[in-house]
Chain A
Amino acid sequence: MSAYPQLDFSYFPGCSMATTAAESNASMMKAAKILGLNLIELEDWNCCGSSSAQTLCKDLSLGMAARNLSLADPGRPLVAMCPRCLLYLRRAQEALRKNPDIRQDLEDRWGRTIPLDLEIMHFLEVLVRFAADRLKQSVKRSLKGLKFVPYYGCTVFRPPDLDREKFYQGEMENILHVLGAEPIVGAYTHRCCGSFLSATDPEIVTPLVNEIVDSAVLAQAHCLVTACAMCQLNLEIRCNSKVKLPVFHFSEVLALALGAEDYEGWFIRHLVDPRPLLQDLALVA
């Protein structure tokens, strides 16, 4: 149980967090619980529409994301961990603010209101805004000695249509530094991992992923820490460089530092086993 008064948030997992990156979801939930952040999953959420709806049909993309907004309790912020989900949810809200007719149509169809003032934020922002003090007080396992490249991928703060919104550059370093880890500069931190081309054109993606991982090796990092579940997967499955580094979900490293003990279940799902590294640093037994 948490030592802190509980703070409530709505939580949108999205398809990756619910399946391929279940280890990211589990570790985030664990960390949130320790910090007293109560993430309440949106009842009957659907896919945000992802790049596929965005590519083939704008109305569909808007509708899919908007339905999730209509399920959210206007009384508490909506949190996402997947950067693309976050992007499509925020974009939809922005579009509905500008198009009251579409919003009215969707609201009539579903019989629910779509909260336009709902705050939609990344889990990183929750930590920094609501749990900064709690983080410092809750370190159970210092990450001292862990040299990591913060890998944000392309989406967390890039999109120009949201460039007046908040962005999250530097937050992973800030948080993990508080927990004892050492951020490494000089490697690729925002270069795109290849996104869905990993499924359709792996031969395009492999050299890109190798560049990213090689840059981290050159910078003498032990590992990469990602803010995006899809990046984590692509960096692992598409890298064929000689030296492969473990790629952590941000939430895994966070939960580890906060004293989580159920990490075995997360790490066996990695293609590059991070346990030898963590054992070398005496972070896990």
Chain B
Amino acid sequence: MKPSPSQEETDVPMPPIKPGERDRSLAAEVRQRSGANFNRCFQCRSCGNGCPFVQAMDYPPNVLLRMLQYGMDQAVLESKTIWVCVGCHTCSSQCPMAIDLAGIMDVLRLAAMERGVRIAKPYIPDFHEEVLRSLKRYGRAHKLGIMWRYKLQTRRLFSDMDTGLKMLAKRKLELQPSRVKAIKEIEDLFQCYWRKSK
């Protein structure tokens, strides 16, 4: 049967993917660390359709799973998707095959940090780093300090300034940090080998 014209038009040349020849070490690692068996996925797209953040992602979660199965490790780890995901678990609770997609995203973020790949949304881990710096110093999150240093570091000091001012006016940002007394117990927990030491 002749293909319909519309099919011909969408026939974009793609580099051939030969699943049998692919190294699927990341897929195996993710299965092992997350405990989620994503080979059950039959691409129903419930995850992507329900995700509140899918518009800010480069690949919907179901596509990311398929890429993982194809061994496209670098593209997966360098995707925006894994950083835009905040772990709200909407996908996990909607998946008819009970695949914990949010748990998979968690492992992918860690793998991206551990392997030092290019991060598609670098200021998101920068923000988390700032939070951790505050936690290491005080044992608790000092939000004013976190936002100030985060904005300095990412050179976005004046973006979103009105929100910060409103929060200050409503005394939602404490000027002084609250501290844990036994701070040594907290410091000793900061042993992540790949963390930037600061």
Contacts and interface: CB of A to CB of B under 8 A. Distances in A.
Interface of A: 15, 18-20, 44-47, 49-60, 63-64, 67, 109-110, 154-155, 158-161, 190-192, 194-197, 199-202, 204, 208, 233, 237, 268-271
A31 B44 CA distance: 46
A159 B89 contact: yes
Contacts of A197: 53, 84, 86, 124
Interface of A is mostly: helix
Contacts of A52: 127-129, 131-132, 135
A227 to B, nearest CB: 14
A196 to B, nearest CB: 6
A63 B143 CA distance: 21
A45 B185 CA distance: 11
Given A20-B173, A204-B53, A44 B181 contact: yes
18 contacts: A15-B141, A15-B143, A20-B143, A46-B186, A56-B125, A56-B192, A57-B192, A59-B192, A60-B132, A155-B89, A158-B92, A196-B127, A196-B128, A197-B86, A197-B124, A199-B147, A200-B123, A271-B166
B139 A46 contact: yes
B132 A15 contact: no
B23 interface: no
Nearest to B135: A47
Contacts of A50: 131, 141
Interface in B109-141: 109-110, 113, 121, 123-125, 127-129, 131-132, 135, 139-141
Given A57-B192, A60-B189, A44 B131 contact: no
Contacts of A194: 52, 86
Given A52-B132, A56-B113, A194-B86, A47 B150 contact: no
B10 interface: no
A195 B103 CA distance: 17
A87 to B, nearest CB: 10
A143 B90 CA distance: 32
A64 to B, nearest CB: 6
Contact of A161 (B55, B103, B125, B170): B103
Contacts, number: 154
A59 B92 CA distance: 23
Interface size class of B (residues with CB under 8 A): 35 or more
A168 B189 CA distance: 32
Interface string B95-118: 000101011001001100100000
Contacts of B123: 200
A55 B192 contact: no
B163 A192 contact: no
Contacts of B172: 19-20, 233, 269
Contact of B128 (A20, A55, A190): A55
Given A46-B139, A47-B135, A63 B127 contact: no
A160 B128 contact: no
A191 B189 CA distance: 34
A194 to B, nearest CB: 7
B89 A269 contact: no
Contacts of B88: 154-155, 158, 192, 195
Given A54-B106, A56-B195, A19 B190 contact: no
Contact of B132 (A56, A63, A268): A56
Contacts of A56: 110, 113, 125, 128-129, 132, 192, 195
A110 B125 contact: no
Contacts of A55: 106, 109-110, 125, 128
Nearest to A198: B163
Contacts of B84: 197, 201, 204
A178 B101 CA distance: 38
B110 A58 contact: yes
B18 interface: no
Contacts of B141: 15, 19, 47, 50
Contacts of B100: 160-161
B17 to A, nearest CB: 30
Interface string B28-58: 0000000000000000000000001101100
B75 interface: no
Given A67-B189, A199-B127, A237-B167, A192 B86 contact: yes
A20 B195 CA distance: 28
Nearest to A18: B178
Contacts of B139: 46-47
